[in-house]
Amino acid sequence: MSDADTVSRLNAALEGRYRIESELGEGGMATVYLADDLKHERKVALKVLKPELASRPPNPMPTTSTARV
């Protein structure tokens, strides 16, 4: 799916609340977009999980690397 298709689908899902302007960055788990918060009239960053991660059940136990500070 192209970036334009993804933004179009997200804008349709968020219609009336947010309008995505551009992609800010992408990591291993999610993509962050610059968007307009239509209700509060301000710029926001929206973090959208990758579809393959959003559909997995949560891991009940954190890994040791996550638990260490």
Per-residue confidence (pLDDT) for residue 53, from 0 to 100 = 81
- Band the pLDDT of 11: cuts 50, 70, 90: very high
Greater confidence (53 vs 9) lies with 9
Distance, in Å, from the CA atom of 33 to the CA atom of 44, rounded to the nearest integer, reads: 8
Distance, in Å, from the CA atom of 20 to the CA atom of 44, rounded to the nearest integer, reads: 9
Q: What percentage of the chain reaches a pLDDT higher than 70?
A: 78
Residue 65 clears pLDDT 80, i.e. is over it: no
Secondary structure (DSSP) of 14-48:
TTTTEEEEEEEEE-SSEEEEEEEETTTTEEEEEEE
Per-residue confidence (pLDDT) for residue 40, from 0 to 100 = 96
Distance, in Å, from the CA atom of 38 to the CA atom of 23, rounded to the nearest integer, reads: 18
- The overall pTM is greater than 0.85: no
Distance, in Å, from the CA atom of 63 to the CA atom of 50, rounded to the nearest integer, reads: 20
Q: What percentage of the chain reaches a pLDDT higher than 90?
A: 62
